[in-house]
Every structure is written in C-alpha cells, then in structure tokens.
A and B are shown apart, each in its own frame.
Chain A
Amino acid sequence: MAKGIWVFAEHSDGSVRKVTFEILSEARKIADKIGEELCAVIVGNQVEALADKCGPYGADKVYVVENEMLNQYTTEGYTKALTDLVKQHQPSILLCGATVTGKDLFPRVAARLETGLAVDCTDIGLDDSNQFFVKRPMYAGKAYAEVGFSDATPKMASIRPNVLIPSPPDESRKAEVIKVAVEISPDDIKAKVVEVVKIAGEKLDLTEAEVIVSGGRGMKGQENFKILEELAEVLNATVGASRAAVDAGWKLQSEQVGQTGKVVSPNLYVACGISGAIQHFAGMGTSKYIVAINKDPEAVIFGKCDYGICDDLFKVVPKLTEEIKKLKKD
C-alpha cells in the first residue's frame, strides 16, 4: 500500500524556495494525523547541501536525486527523475509549489503515473474519514472547489505560494538524507534549453511576492512607473500592472495581474490608477489587504478595497513613499 507524504523541494540559485517550507509545515500536520512519514525530494546536480534545510520544517527524510543532466530544469529530465523514484517508493501523497516549475512538471508526472492532480490549491487537509482533499480556486477565484481524489496514488497537488504559513523552523530537527542515483541519457531530453534570457530588475515573481504595487491606465505612460518603483523599493514590493498598462506597452506581459495574467495573493496589494475590472480583480481578489489609489470616486475598486484614497495618484504615491520611509526609520 502506498505510504508517505512527499514534497518536491524546489530550489533556485542555490537555495530552497520558500513555498517548499510552507508546504512541508502544513504537510507535517497531515503526516502526524495519518501516521505516515514526511519526505522531501530534491532533484538537481550537486544539491546535497540543500537537504539540511528541510528537516527543520518537518521532513523525516530527504531524497537527493542527482545527475549532471539535471543541472538545469527540463520537463523530461525532471519527470523521469521524479517518476522513477515515486514508482520505487510509492508515496500516498505528492505535493509541490504551484510555481513556474511545478506547473510544468506535475501535470506531466501525474499523467505518467496515471493519477489525479489538483493544481494551484489554496488549502490542503483531511476530511472526517482522514481522506486527503484540497481547496482550489476556479474561474480565476470567482468560485472555489473542494476536490477529492480517486484511489490512484500518489494523490498529487500543487499549492499556491504565500497561502500556507510556514512553521518556525526547529533547527534541532534533522532529516535522514538518502542519496539516489538516476540514469538519464541525453536522448531522454528532447526539448533542450539553449538560452536563458534574464529580464533586468525582475527578481521575485509576482506570484511569490508578499507585497505588490500595481499600476494601471491611470499611470499615463511608461516613464511614470518610476514613482511606483520607488514606492515598491520602500515596501520591498514587486511591481505589477493591469492589462491596460501591459497592452499600452508600459509593462511586460509577465507583469500583468488578472484573469489572463498572473493570479496573486500577497499580504498587501496597492492598486494605483486601476479601475478594478472583474478580470483584474480575479487576479488579486484574494490579497490580504488591498489599497486603492484612484481619482474617480465611482471607481469599482473602492467597493472592494480595504483602504482607499480618492485623489490624483501622482500627488499621493510620492507622499506615501515618503511617509512609509519615515515610519520605517522610527
């Protein structure tokens, strides 16, 4: 019988991504309830050093799957590495972050294992008879669903970053580290990454940002986003945009928030010169706090925000930056 809860531990630039700790912390509670062990799986090349990071968040074991061919993420290489290991050990539940990588990898893995996958979940848990189930948004968050699984295992879910709360790490907790060799030949990887183009200044993906400052058509031009960047700087925020701002060419497609852009749930979302169209709201409606700065008192967004300022954003935003700077100094 399948046993064990596994978390695919995603890493980048030599550190484990925060979403992994969020999932481990929540999965620990489930593992305790059903009396199964919690394991992290790290896939890559020379990544053993990262294994120590998972114990403090609750992992009992860490599988480290290494191969030179796994130095860079590829769908085919990682799918093979992960499915081979899953077939060998047969965990009951397999989780990952709903990140760029998780959204590419898990659907492929689930199809290969012929099992069920619920993506972009905002909660995971057990029902009254200890069956695993998840909650996830549909229709870009205009509705939610509780989703259960057939008997196929592992039951798979990807979880949206920033929604589960990581436990404080217990540094005295050590996980057993198990190194696993995987055979991958160059022929296994047909889709090859030939180049990675970095966009300067874009460091944290919007979906993982805890604070987002967004601009819309009211920004009136690309050059004016400078005031949002300054506000973002003091708030340690990532800058986003409405579709109107993206379609005007002021911001990149990867920065669009909304139903046909990114769906985000930061602690704080500051919407500047954004009217609050249904498609935009679909992308940020689950933010913990929403601030709206808009000069139109009739703007829809004022009906759905926590704090609003009805005024010219070009006057308010620079002042807000100053005020927050002052507060942070105290």
Chain B
Amino acid sequence: MNIIVCMKQVPDTEAQIRVKPDGSGIVDSDIKFVMNPYDEYGVEEALLLKEKFGGTVTIVCLGSERAIEAIRTGLAMGADKAVHLDDPAFEGGDAFSTAKALAAAIKGMEYDLIFCGKQAIDDDLAQVGPALAEMLGIPQIVVVTKVEVSEDGKKAKVNRQIIGGEEIIEVPLPAVLTAQKGLNEPRYASLPGIMKAKKKEVKSVKIADLGLDPNAVGKAGAKTQILKMYSPPQRESGNIIEGETAEETASKLATLLREEAKVI
C-alpha cells in the first residue's frame, strides 16, 4: 500500500505571534517551527498502515528550505522518502494555488491513500485537503478519528467527527483523509530513526518539473489575498472578586454576570 502524507511546517503552538508593524505578515525570525501537529497524526496513521500492509510512505511538503527540518522529522518517524516542493514560485499562495501545486506533484506518483492534517495551525484554512481531493478527482473525508482499510486494500471504513457524534463512512480508495487529534498517538522519532532519516531520499521539485504555469501557483495563482494582518485586541486582566466565603464570591459573581455583563 503506497501512502502519501501531505505535510506543512508551522510555528510551534507555544509561539507568541507578533504581526509586523506594517501588517504585511508576522515576525518569524524568533519562532520555532515544527511539523503541523495534525500532520503528525497523518504520518503516524500511514506508518501503522504500512506496518500492516507493506508498501511505502512518502511525505509531500510544500515549503521553503527551512521545512526540511520537519521533513526529516517525518522521515525519522519512519516515512520512506519525501518530495519537497521548494521552489519560491510555490510560496505565498492560498489553499487553491497550494493544492494546485501539490496535485500536480502527486499526479505522477503511485498512491492508494493520501493523508493531510485536519488543518494547518498557521493559516487555519482546513482547505488544502478537500481542494487536493477535488483536483485529483477522488473522494475526501475530513476530521477523521479512525481508519480501517479492508484486507484487499481497496476500500476503507472511516470515522469522522460531526456535531453530536461520528459518521462512519465507507470509501473506495484512493481517497484523501484529513487527520484529527484522537486518530492515534504519534510516535517519537528514535535515535536510530534520526540517523537513518539522514540517508533517505528527499526529492526537490521545482515548477519546471511539474510543467505548471508560474501564474497558476503560489502568490500569483492565489484566489484570495491577505490584504493586511493585525493583532487582536489584548484582553485586560479583570475583576478578581474578593470575599470571605465561596458563597459570598459566588453570589457577587452571579450578580455581576446578570447586571454588568448581562449574560444570564
């Protein structure tokens, strides 16, 4: 079974995000970058399926040179090889133009299943997976918490989170699944894993390799543009309610919620 995992490098969740004074983007010089947490679930699930069915796990990553660190993390976890779309022409895009480049790269590959993360925690778009599925002409299932592939590897039974519960969906493969927390517990890269990862193949892919029009990808091919970024209003520290007993503070709080905040 050949599995592709689409992966993005993003700021660590601990990172304080500071917007540049001119609103053109964020200050990223002092930020630690990691593999998108949802993509980790995708890598882990792909590895579990490989352990059962054999085959290969390939990471496909669109991102700058810096993203190689996240790619190496995936390889150290156990992925076999990687494809790195590292042409600057691919950068600065939106979900549409990003999916366009990924789809072009993936079209020439053999795959039975594609994992993406539920969303990347930087843009929070949750859009690349479905757009990729559409461009490849295959079904999508998003926010997946369980995957069971049939013995013959031809179809899968997949749980997806919905309001008030889960849907169980049967889908012929190949399909795009977007991984949600809870799908599995991603493994840590082992020391031998890290050593091995250094020797694994990472293929660099440029726009010319895909035969794409430079106007179709990256910033030029985007259908939406960020006009300006800004910081959310900072919350001030609030009213800490004093009182002798829990009864007294609780009563004061209830009154404030009713009379000042008017929320009850």
Contact = CB atoms under 8 A, between A and B. Distances in A.
Do they bind each other?
Answer: yes
Interface of A: 12, 75-76, 99-100, 103-104, 107-108, 110-112, 114-120, 133, 137-150, 152, 190-199, 202-205, 208, 211, 235, 253-254, 256, 259-261, 263, 267-268, 278-279, 282, 285-286, 288-291, 302-312, 315-316, 319-320, 322-324, 326-328
A22 to B, nearest CB: 17
B17 A306 contact: no
A146 B228 contact: yes
A194 B169 CA distance: 6
B204 interface: no
Contact of B227 (A133, A194, A320): A133
A145 B228 contact: yes
Interface stretch (B62-70, B77-85, B186-194, B217-225): B217-225
Contacts of A291: 253, 257
Interface residues of B, number: 82
Q: When A and B form their complex, which 6 residue pairs have the shortest distance between CB atoms, in order from nearest?
A: A116-B223, A319-B250, A107-B130, A111-B134, A142-B17, A315-B246
B37 A327 contact: no
B226 interface: yes
A320 B256 CA distance: 12
A120 B254 contact: no
A203 B175 CA distance: 30
Contact of B223 (A76, A152, A290, A320): A152
Contacts of A268: 257, 261, 263-264
B235 A139 contact: no
A142 B167 contact: no
13 contacts: A110-B223, A111-B130, A120-B126, A140-B13, A142-B232, A149-B223, A150-B224, A194-B170, A253-B145, A253-B180, A308-B239, A319-B246, A327-B255
A205 to B, nearest CB: 4
**Interface-central residue, B19, B165, B180, by most chain A CB under 10 Å:** B165
Contact of A289 (B142, B231, B261): B261
B247 interface: yes
A70 to B, nearest CB: 16
Residue from B11, B37, B130, B157 whose CB has the most chain A CB atoms within 10 Å = B130
Taking each of A116, A141, A259, A278, which has the highest tally of chain B beta carbons within 10 Å of its own beta carbon?
A116
Interface stretch (B1-9, B51-59, B105-113, B117-125): B117-125
B114 interface: no
Given A104-B140, A304-B237, 10 more contacts: A103-B143, A107-B131, A147-B226, A191-B141, A196-B165, A196-B168, A285-B235, A290-B238, A302-B237, A323-B253
Interface of B: 11, 13-17, 19, 26, 37-38, 94-96, 99, 121-127, 129-131, 133-135, 139-143, 145, 157, 159, 161-172, 175, 180-182, 222-232, 235, 237-241, 246-247, 249-251, 253-258, 261, 263-264
Contacts of A323: 247, 250-251, 253-254
Given A117-B95, A150-B225, A104 B130 contact: yes
Nearest to B19: A143
Nearest to B254: A323
A193 B168 contact: yes
Nearest to B128: A107
A123 to B, nearest CB: 12
B223 A259 contact: no
Contacts of B240: 302, 307-310
A302 to B, nearest CB: 6
A323 B164 CA distance: 30
Given A117-B224, A320-B250, A197 B257 contact: no
A279 B14 CA distance: 7
B9 to A, nearest CB: 14
A305 B256 CA distance: 14
Given A138-B124, A139-B121, A253-B180, A278 B226 contact: no
Best-surrounded residue of B15, B127, B172 (most CB of chain A within 10 A): B127
A267 B257 CA distance: 11
A103 B126 contact: yes
Nearest to A120: B124
Contacts of A327: 254-255, 258, 264
A203 B127 CA distance: 26
Contacts of B235: 285, 290, 304-306
Contacts of A253: 145, 161, 180-182
B175 to A, nearest CB: 7
Contact of B250 (A12, A279, A316): A316
B229 A191 contact: no
Contact of B229 (A143, A211, A267, A278): A143
